[in-house]
Amino acid sequence: MRILQVIPNLETGGAEKLLVDSIPKYLEKGIQMELLLLDNSPSQFLELLKNNKQVVVHQLNSKSPYRPSHILRLIPFIKKFDVLHVHLFPALYWVAFAKLLSLSKKPLVYTEHNTFNKRRIHWLLKYTDRLAYRMYKKIITISIPVDTALKRFLKTKKDNYYFIPNGVDLSVIQNAPTLHKEQLAVSENQKIVLQVSSFTPQKDQKTLIKSLVYLPENVLLFLVGAGPTMEAHKQFVKDCNLESRVFFLGIRMDVPSLLKSVDVVVLSSHYEGLSLSSIEGLASGNPFVASNVSGLKEIVEGAGALFDEGNEKQLAKILKRCMEDAPYRDTLISKCQERAKVYDMDVMVQSHIELYKKLK
């Protein structure tokens, strides 16, 4: 059985990282799986996959994933593979319309990664969205909020939904080396708060930055990731006179080590589907703190600590307790690590394989 994973590109993001980490696991289990990217943009994730000689990566050699001409170029791939498993827009559209033109009966699978996108409130795109979704044999939803939101949008009770939570390779975090403070260029008496996420409107690094005002001077903030709002956040840090305490690390390939080497891991966001960063934070061996929003509350509640969206004062209070109250800190860590086990990548991979076999 030949499976083709399709995604616009491998720029930084949760869905992209999911494929980079999981494709080798499918190959280990004897599944013939390849990857197709709609554009040829370079990335560290892409280089990582290319270094694995067992992974076959196809690229349409385009400068943009948004070109409708991709529809025709996708038709040969639909005919060649048994199942196409698609992630993110605009791959959602182009693969669906390619199948329509090809008259193929090959099954398509789409994973819905988020609870919301702006197309759902656009007067025209909400209808083209619904048309595209109809072309997929199975739609995987990665969390209860994602499942609920998509069913509400599509207004259908069809049985083509399949609930499979995303997973993280917990062994990668467990086996990662811990970095010493001197390796992070900070002193022993300084505390580090870490957020790993893209810089997009969905994320809320600004609330985390503002929380530093209410924390001791020895508390530093490391922000890992890149994206369109990064420069605006750098300017905000300057405006707040926090340049000596906030560090933009960009895209890093040593995230597991960073997670294990800081004092608190945070994910401040406006909404999530099922955030891989949140699962990694739970598994880090440090307290994990997240905003109390859809897609995070369901994962974190009862394990890590939650703060009200946009409430920097409440966040600062929680962070301070995580760093100063040892019994509270230890309890959080224990509960977080236990919760992370629910989202082991091996469970996700096996669930996908079972679904693929049903479609054969």
What is the strand order of the sheet 191-196 is part of?
A: 246-250, 219-224, 191-196, 264-267, 288-291, 305-307
68: number of Cβ within 10 Å:
10
Tokens 């196409």 found at? 84
What pLDDT score was predicted for residue 11?
Answer: 86
pLDDT at 72 over 80: yes
**Rounded CA separation 168/148 (Å):** 23
Provide the residue type at 26 as one letter: Y
pLDDT the model gives residue 116: 86
- Give the torsion sign (CA, 70, 73, 76, 80): negative
The structure tokens 């994910």 sit at 267
pLDDT digits (tens, 9 = 90+) for 336-353: 999 999 999 999 999 999
Beta strands in the chain (DSSP E): 2-7, 32-37, 57-59, 83-87, 108-112, 138-141, 161-163, 191-196, 219-224, 246-250, 264-267, 288-291, 305-307
DSSP state of 36: E
User: How high is the pLDDT of residue 301?
Assistant: 97
Q: Rounded CA gap, 160 and 110, in Å?
A: 11
Q: At what angle do helices 125-133 and 144-154 cross, to 10 degrees?
A: 110
Q: What is the pLDDT, as a whole number, of residue 123?
A: 84
Give the pLDDT confidence score for residue 360 in this predicted structure. Answer: 78
Residue 140 · residue 163 · CB < 8 Å: yes
Q: Does the pLDDT of residue 266 top 90, yes or no?
A: yes
pLDDT of residue 80 exceeding 90, the answer is yes
Q: Is a pLDDT exceeding 90 seen at residue 117?
A: no
Percent of the chain with pLDDT over 70: 100
| Pairwise CA distance, residues 298 & 279, whole Å | 12
Place of tokens 């739970």: 282
CATH fold label, 170-343 = Rossmann fold (3.40.50)
pLDDT of residue 61: 82
Residue 274's pLDDT band, with cuts at 50, 70 and 90, is confident
For the segment 53-70, what is each residue's pLDDT rounded down to a tens digit? 999 999 998 899 999 999
Structural contact between residues 290 and 298, judged by C-beta atoms closer than 8 angstroms: no
Render pLDDT for 8-56 as a digit per residue (tens, 0 to 9). Answer: 999 878 899 999 999 999 999 999 999 999 999 999 899 989 899 999 9
Q: Supply the pLDDT for residue 155.
A: 85
Residue 104 CB contacts under 8 Å (≥ 6 apart), including other chains: 75, 78, 79
Beta strands, E only, 8-76: 32-37, 57-59
Tell me which residue has tokens 């995070």.
296
Q: What is the pTM of this model?
A: 0.81
Q: What pLDDT is stored for residue 62 in this prediction? A: 86
- Distance, CA of 50 to CA of 13 (rounded, Å): 18
Confidence of residue 335 (pLDDT cuts 50, 70, 90): very high
CATH superfamily entry for domain 2-167+344-359: Glycogen Phosphorylase B; (3.40.50.2000)
Please state, in angstroms and rounded to a whole number, the distance separating the CA atoms of residues 315 and 269: 12
pLDDT tens readout for residues 127-154: 999 999 999 999 999 998 899 999 999 9
Strand order in the sheet with 161-163: 57-59, 32-37, 2-7, 83-87, 108-112, 138-141, 161-163
pLDDT tens profile 153-176: 998 767 899 999 999 999 999 999
**How crowded is residue 265: how many other Cβ atoms within 10 Å of its Cβ?**
30
Report the pLDDT value the prediction gives residue 158, as an integer from 0 to 100.
Answer: 75
Nearest to 279 by CA among 179, 149, 143, 146: 143
Q: What confidence tens digit (pLDDT) does each residue in 194-208 have? A: 999 999 999 999 999
Domain coordinates in residue numbering, the chain: 2-167+344-359, 170-343
